[in-house]
Structure 1
Amino acid sequence: MSGAEPGLLERLHGIREAGDVPLVGDARWPKAQWDATVAAAAAAELPDGTAWATLTSGSSGAPRIVLRSAESWSDSFAAVSGFLDAGSGDTVALPAPPASSLTLFSLAHSLSGGPRPVLRPTPEADVLHGTPQALRAVLDAGSHPRLRAALIGGSHLDPALRRRAEAAGIRVSAYYGAAELSFVACDEGEGLRPFPGVELEIRDGELWVRSPYVASGYAGAPGPLRRDGAWATVGDRAALDDGRLRLLGRADEAILSASATIVPEEVEAVLRSIPGVRDAIVFGLPREPVGALVSALLELEGDAPVDVRPHAAAQLAPAHRPRRWFAGQIPRTASGKPARAEAVRQVLAGEVQSLVIR
């Protein structure tokens, strides 16, 4: 287990050459998280062929250790190089910490001839692999003279952010994936389509994949990965429309309010389209007897009032409109993904302000 100290790539190479399995932690973790992760790793029974261990993002709860073979990543290296149009002579900026499976993947790719990693955005970077939050930070900084391509995952990519990046000369490929499934689908501007080598199937509203990139399993606590022969799922709800994948969120994140079932991602997409709203996260707050109140935490562009109610009323069915509104900075995992469980905790603890709307 390693932190993000200099020489990490060399340490990973040494661990792999010795036939051991690296797991990268984060120096910012509290002691309790380190202790729990170390204990789970020490007790793990590794399947034959295990080469890498990664951590889930923790965006919906406690992180889990995901085990995978070398091939479950290396089989996708050629496709990733193609999306980035980058090889060993190029530099890839990796803003997320190495504990993120997104960054650890790119470190593994570098060890096999992929772009040379830099664990932060720099003016010298040719390409970027990170989250939408990382892409926005690079654009806000305005110092990316060589950056020509970005591979963006981890959470929803706002179309306006894609347009902004492309106007700056950065070609953007966004993808949907999971720590357990790796790459599932990629969007180069016309919607999510299956990632090379991946087959998709919808069963009772749930996304299943047949893919060479699926992880072997978990160390420690079990997780959402389920298998049916060659097919696997982590429980994401989705639909296929003319070959394009439309994500509807995890089944366990659906909000049950009175007699309605609300998918947070559908409401979030509407809220992000409101002028003055930078980002949004939607969740249920416990409320008897209806079950939960649909609630939203908005990250605003500035201090000016935002008139959200007419937009929500015009685009959302009554049961899907948030009843409680909050404003503040959306909590994120270390890799930059929105952390829904933490947003609920902050609201219940009174750590974010109610949004006064007209």
Structure 2
Amino acid sequence: MWETVRAASAGMQLTDDIAWATLTSGSSGSPRIVLRSASSWAESFEAVAGYLGAGPDDAVLLPAPPAASLTLFSLAHALGGGPRPLLGVASNSDAHCLHGTPQALRAVLDAGAPSRLRAALVGGSPLDPALRERAEAAGIRVTAYYGAAELSFVAVDEGDGLRAFPGAELSIRAGELWVRSPFIASGYAGADGPWRRDGAWATVGDRAELVDGRLRLLGRADDAILSASATIVPEEVEAVLRSVPGVRDAIVFGMPRAPVGALVAAFVELDGDAATELRRAAVARLAPAHRPRRWFAGHLPRTASGKPARAEAARRALAGEVSRLDV
């Protein structure tokens, strides 16, 4: 990775405080290299330790590979007095807490959670409320968070909705979420990305609403599906599909189709036969324009950190590499 960083940053004027280079998830395309100072992560160590309920004498389970930004953060945290990292294992009896994606938490529960595991810090993709309930029934306190490699921690949800992460300020400008915090990265090495700055504020282009201190994410503006006269936010449809029993995960995307622009399509990862329930949920809970017209089923491709690889999932479906589902 360092060879890639050096090549990408050739000719750049790097400041002396640059300490870390990490990758974006690549869920919407090729990963980008993000540069950040040591303090941009260290400033959040105290809050993260509180959510994990863990210190240097405890161990944190890190199922994602070291190149994943959430794993690299936890390694930096360990160097700064955080819990001892346990790398690359789905379950480990020494783990007191977990930092990973919802998929990683599900895998740990499926394998039989370690008896010592008491807390999970989960990010990277939306947390299914049923998964939170399952973990808490096993004695694991779950804190979900929203963030980005460029912004680090932005908001946390301890069960009552997303609120600003300690030390972060949130603002909505023309429907776009902007963040001011000491956790923001220094920039990219090489190719540009969605990250933009305005003084101390930064954004990665996520659309959101902020009501009474609670943050509601509406997805990226460039992910929206334009179908006839309707604008469909994939994340809103995905939330409905993920709530259906038997659906492990879901990605919604647009299939180009003249003259309407695009058809709404869904790629679902299932446990058993959920086609009937998917149909009922789509009819009962989605407006007609938001209901998927094409369905695909299979194992969703994932990034190194375990997030659904949105762009690759759509490519495989459009290329006919996954099975059609009759819903």
Show the 5 A alignment for 1:187-202: 187-202=157-172
Is 1:221 the counterpart of 2:153 in the alignment?
no
- Alignment of 1:246 onto 2:193: no
Cα distance in 1 for partners of 2:172, 2:222 equals 17
How far 1:62 moved relative to its partner?
A: 0.6
Q: Is the 8 A contact 2:5 2:21 kept in 1?
A: no
Q: Please, which of 136, 147, 158 is the counterpart of residue 177 of structure 1? A: 147
Cα gap change, 1:200/1:294 in structure 2, threshold over 3 Å: closer, same or farther?
A: same
Asked if 1:98 is matched to 2:69, the reply is no
Match of 1:162 in 2: 132
- Equivalents in 1 of 2:150, 2:81: separation in Å? 24
Is the CA contact (8 Å cut-off) linking 1:45 and 1:219 kept in structure 2? no
Q: 1:248 deviation in Å?
A: 0.6
Residue 149 of structure 2 is aligned to residue 210 of structure 1: no
Question: How far does residue 307 in structure 1 lie from its aligned partner after superposition?
Answer: 3.4
Structure 1 residue runs of 4 or more that deviate by more than 4 Å after TM superposition: 35-38, 41-44
Find out whether 1:80 has 2:48 as its counterpart.
yes
Structure 2, gaps ≥5 residues long: none
Q: Deviations over 1:227-264 (max 9, x none)?
A: 11111100000101221101111111111111111100
Identity of aligned pairs, percent?
A: 76
Question: Shift of the alpha carbon at 1:48?
Answer: 3.4
Matches of 1:80 and 1:171 in 2, distance apart? 14
- Kindly indicate whether structure 1 or structure 2 has the higher relative contact order, using CA contacts under 8 Å at least 6 residues apart: 2
Q: Cα 1:193–1:277, aligned 2, differ >3 Å: closer, same or farther? A: same
Of the three residues 117, 123, 140, the one matched with 1:147 is 117
Do the aligned partners of residues 38 and 199 (structure 1) sit closer, same or farther apart at CA in structure 2, a change above 3 Å counting?
Answer: same
Q: Distance in 2 between matches of 1:46 and 1:297?
A: 42
1:305-320 paired onto structure 2 within 5 Å: 305-320=275-290
Distance 1:230 1:37, change over 3 A: closer
Secondary structure, counterpart of 1:213 in structure 2: coil
Unaligned runs of 5+ in 1: 2-22, 24-34
Q: Does 1:52 align with 2:20?
A: yes
Inter-partner Cα distance in structure 1 for 2:277 and 2:54: 43
1:40 equivalent in alignment to 2:8: yes
For 1:195 and 1:151, the matched residues in 2 are separated by 13
Match among 59, 68, 75 for residue 36 of structure 2? 68
Equivalent AA in structure 1 for residue 126 of structure 2? H
1:350 is matched with which residue? Answer: 320
- Is the CA contact 1:47–1:216 (under 8 Å) kept in the aligned structure 2? no
Change in 2 beyond 3 A, CA 1:113/1:77: same
- 1:17-58 per-residue CA deviation (whole Å, 9 max, x = no partner) reads xxxxxx5xxxxxxxxxxx866632555542331111110010
Of stretches 277-286 and 57-66 in structure 1, the one that deviates more from structure 2 is 277-286
3-state SS in 2 of match to 1:307 = helix
May I ask how many residue pairs the two structures share in their alignment? 325
Q: Distance in 2 between matches of 1:318 and 1:181?
A: 36
